[in-house]
């Protein structure tokens, strides 16, 4: 059964801020309710995604909306927490347990962490004890691609340049100005070939969605509804990601279930926590052949108005910054705006089908903690 996205909302993502978590999440939720043009009292179920907030984050968010007593699921799936919360709410609606659900993603990672690589758990972690950092993991993937297929550091810089450029036109993105291509290339190396601007920054922020059953959506503003055609959630898979990633199998399953292929998708929000994350997504989800991501990129196919699918038109994690729990929800919100034709200067022409991919990691023995792929259409 198709589930509708009736409303989307977010607050501006920022660096470290004094704004309480509840104000961020409550603001995003109220914006989504206003966008859906429904009252908070219509919400029958809520799912809230966060990674670093304190326990019972959802209960504290719902208090801000004057909502109590409804079923509530708190979801933590690393960086895929927001999309995992959306999938949980979608399943409640598909099962008939709820007609209308609120999804909220929130985190204050900029406030809770200093800048620089995030420390792995502790030195009993066998990978952490070798000096592994998260950017290094993406450096290993990028160096292999460069050696095998002839991609270059400039290719990764092209992605950072593209996404930071889009973010400068997204008033909700943390980064409102874009570095030049030369500045990106001149930035210090973190883990070769990854430079500073190839890494997303932590952010404070929240985003929210209102989901509804098909019958409810048709009774309430169905003309603006965007439909979730399918959403796949994968758990941790043991192994490294050099030659495989869960997103490949999940995208294949999503394409089969939606009856669509990558050639039918015009807009993508994917997990560009590092520029390499978007680069590998071109290949791993079938937008180009294996070993040709740099050719897809150099031909401008992943740009707004390009001949492929526009990737991360809202600026991606590189431009918006990354409040982990909020990221999945804001990715979905961006695709909804694109499919409605309401993305303003960032609109990709003719967007009728979109894809959201989120990867959450942290347990370094696993390819990812959790991966999600969602396909939406008008």
Residues at the site binding other proteins, with contacts judged by CB under 8 A: 116-117, 119-120, 123-127, 129-133, 135-136, 139-144, 146-147, 188-192, 194, 238, 240, 242, 364-365
Cβ-based nearer residue to other proteins, 224 or 241: 241
* Nearest-approach distance from CB 356 to other proteins, in angstroms: 28
Cβ-based nearer residue to other proteins, 135 or 361: 135
* Nearest-approach distance from CB 198 to other proteins, in angstroms: 12
* Nearest-approach distance from CB 120 to other proteins, in angstroms: 7
How far is residue 170's CA from residue 115's CA, in Å, rounded to a whole number?
23
* Nearest-approach distance from CB 372 to other proteins, in angstroms: 22
Cβ-based nearer residue to other proteins, 218 or 242: 242
Structure tokens at 226: 């965007």
**308 vs 124, 132, 279, 338, 361, CA distance in Å?**
44, 35, 14, 15, 28
* Nearest-approach distance from CB 109 to other proteins, in angstroms: 17
* Nearest-approach distance from CB 186 to other proteins, in angstroms: 14
* Nearest-approach distance from CB 277 to other proteins, in angstroms: 15
Cβ-based nearer residue to other proteins, 66 or 188: 188
**Side-chain half-sphere CA neighbours of 142 within 13 A:** 24
Cβ-based nearer residue to other proteins, 318 or 339: 318
**166 vs 113, 174, 345, 347, CA distance in Å?**
26, 12, 9, 10
Give backbone dihedrals phi and psi of 5, rounded to 5 degrees, phi first.
-95, 115
Cβ-based nearer residue to other proteins, 49 or 193: 193
Cβ-based nearer residue to other proteins, 17 or 192: 192
Cβ-based nearer residue to other proteins, 55 or 116: 116
Question: For the CA atoms of the chain, what is the radius of gyration?
Answer: 19
* Nearest-approach distance from CB 366 to other proteins, in angstroms: 10
Strand partners, 212: 4, 100
Cβ-based nearer residue to other proteins, 39 or 238: 238
* Nearest-approach distance from CB 151 to other proteins, in angstroms: 12
């Amino acid at each position: 059964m198709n589930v509708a996205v009736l409303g989307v909302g977010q607050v501006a993502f920022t660096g470290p801020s004094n704004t309480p978590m509840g104000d961020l999440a409550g603001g995003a939720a109220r914006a989504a309710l206003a966008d859906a043009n429904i009252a908070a009292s219509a919400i029958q179920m809520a799912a809230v995604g966060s990674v670093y907030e304190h326990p019972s984050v959802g209960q504290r968010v719902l208090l801000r909306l004057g909502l109590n007593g409804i079923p509530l699921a708190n979801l933590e799936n690393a960086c895929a927490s927001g999309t995992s919360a959306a999938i949980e709410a979608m399943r409640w609606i598909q099962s008939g347990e709820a007609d209308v659900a609120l999804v909220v993603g929130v985190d204050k990672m900029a406030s809770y962490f200093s800048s620089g690589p995030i420390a792995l758990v502790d030195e009993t972690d066998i990978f952490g004890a070798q000096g592994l950092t998260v950017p290094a993991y993406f450096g290993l993937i990028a160096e292999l691609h460069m050696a095998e297929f002839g991609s270059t550091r400039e290719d990764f810089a092209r992605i950072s340049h593209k996404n930071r450029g889009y973010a400068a036109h997204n008033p909700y993105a943390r980064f409102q100005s874009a570095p030049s291509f030369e500045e990106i290339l001149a930035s210090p190396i973190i883990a070769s070939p990854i430079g500073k601007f190839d890494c997303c920054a932590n952010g404070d922020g929240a985003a929210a969605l209102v989901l509804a059953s098909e019958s409810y959506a048709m009774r309430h503003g169905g003309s603006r509804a965007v439909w979730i055609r399918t959403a796949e959630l994968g758990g941790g898979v043991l192994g490294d990601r050099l030659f495989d990633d869960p997103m490949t199998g999940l995208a294949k399953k999503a394409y089969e279930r939606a009856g669509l292929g990558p050639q039918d998708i015009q807009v993508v929000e994917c997990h560009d926590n590092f520029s390499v994350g978007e680069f590998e997504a071109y290949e791993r989800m079938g937008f180009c052949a294996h070993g040709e991501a740099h050719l897809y990129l150099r031909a401008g196919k992943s740009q707004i108005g390009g001949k492929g699918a526009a990737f991360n038109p809202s600026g991606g994690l590189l431009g918006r910054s990354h409040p982990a729990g909020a990221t999945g929800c804001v990715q979905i919100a961006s695709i909804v705006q694109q499919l409605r034709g309401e993305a303003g200067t960032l609109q990709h022409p003719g967007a009728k089908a979109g894809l959201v991919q989120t990867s959450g990691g942290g347990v370094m023995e696993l390819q990812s903690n959790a991966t999600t792929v969602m396909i939406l259409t008008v």
